[in-house]
Amino acid sequence: TPTGSLAARESSGMEIVYGDPPPLPADVSVRVYNMEYCPFAQRVLLALSAKGIKYDVINCCLGPNKPQFLNDANPNGEVPVLLHGGHVLYESDIIVDYVDRAFPGGHRLYQDNAISVAKGRLLVKMFDTKVIPLFYKLVFYPNHENQGKLLDALETWIENPLEELDTPFFGGQDYSFVDVNCWPWIERIHAMKDVGFISLGEERFPKLFDYANRMIASPGISEWVHTGEEYKTFYDSYRKGNPRYNYHAKRPMYCKGKRA
């Protein structure tokens, strides 16, 4: 069910703006170039929320109308980009690592334990290569076969590992970089099970259901969830080639500058 903050969002999304974002407020040291529905960028937002620090989010249009400052910041022209202390960083999983090191307070996302880091990195890599591509395959080709493949991959790479670990989170008693890196896609799949995207059954995925409910209720995670309807609207528009990048967003979206 949506939280109060979700219910307060405007139904039509906020306005489009041009040019460069304003300078950071004096009390904020971190800025993220984001897109409301980008799961990779969400990884970074979750990592920053875990640290309890103030950060500024700049939503960007992607595709041919992406703002110039995004292309200038990242050779790949993609979100997320993190700006902090004069550094411009990209690659979402690397930024998560950076955030944990650069802001040592708050919630720790990595343990000081080489083997648990190595195992966690492997899980993220397997999720990246075995699960994420199947999510997009289903987005673009929503058929029964692709649903089945995604469900099988979820069972192998999420349900079974959760069963084996037998801890509340992939990170153990609390969420870690593994949870932060995998959650955005799990969130989308779980949210969209009720709007016809995928038949995710609790009988087959008891651990995943428990995990999703636990994550949604976790501080730091809960502020960046969307509803199934919001995700479905976005992904339908994405599939049709006209993505509603800023649907229901609480902040304006920067686009490529229009001439006066």
Active-site positions read 38
Residues 101-120 that bind other proteins (CB under 8 A): 101-102, 114-115, 117-118
Contacts with other proteins by CB under 8 A: the residue count is: 21
| Residues paired with residue 221 on neighbouring β-strands, in sequence order | none
Residues 63-102 that bind other proteins (CB under 8 A): 75, 84-85, 87, 89-91, 94-95, 97-98, 101-102
Residue 28 interacts with other proteins (CB under 8 A): yes or no:
no
| Residues paired with residue 89 on neighbouring β-strands, in sequence order | 82
d(CA 19, CA 67) in angstroms, rounded, equals 8
Residues 158-217 that bind other proteins (CB under 8 A): none
Q: Rounded to 5 degrees, what are φ and ψ at 58?
A: -115, 110
Amino acid at 65: N
Least gap, CB of 93 to other proteins (angstroms): 9
Residue 220's region, left for phi above 0, alpha for psi from -120 to 50, else beta, is: left
Q: Which is nearer to other proteins, 117 or 195 (CB)?
A: 117
Q: Which of 24, 126, 165, 195 binds other proteins (CB under 8 A)?
A: 126
Q: Provide the edge-to-edge strand list for the sheet that holds 16-17.
A: 16-17, 253-254, 56-60, 30-34, 81-84, 87-90
Task: Assess contact for 215 and 179: CB atoms under 8 A.
Answer: yes
Least gap, CB of 148 to other proteins (angstroms): 20
Q: What angle do CA 230, 231, 237 make, to 5 degrees?
A: 95
Q: Which is nearer to other proteins, 54 or 125 (CB)?
A: 125
d(CA 116, CA 170) in angstroms, rounded, equals 10
Least gap, CB of 126 to other proteins (angstroms): 8
Q: Which is nearer to other proteins, 79 or 212 (CB)?
A: 79
Looking only at the bridges linking them, the beta strands covering 253-254 and 16-17 are parallel
| Residues paired with residue 166 on neighbouring β-strands, in sequence order | none
Q: Which is nearer to other proteins, 53 or 126 (CB)?
A: 126
Q: Which is nearer to other proteins, 28 or 94 (CB)?
A: 94
Point out which residues bind other proteins (CB under 8 A): 75, 84-85, 87, 89-91, 94-95, 97-98, 101-102, 114-115, 117-118, 121-122, 125-126
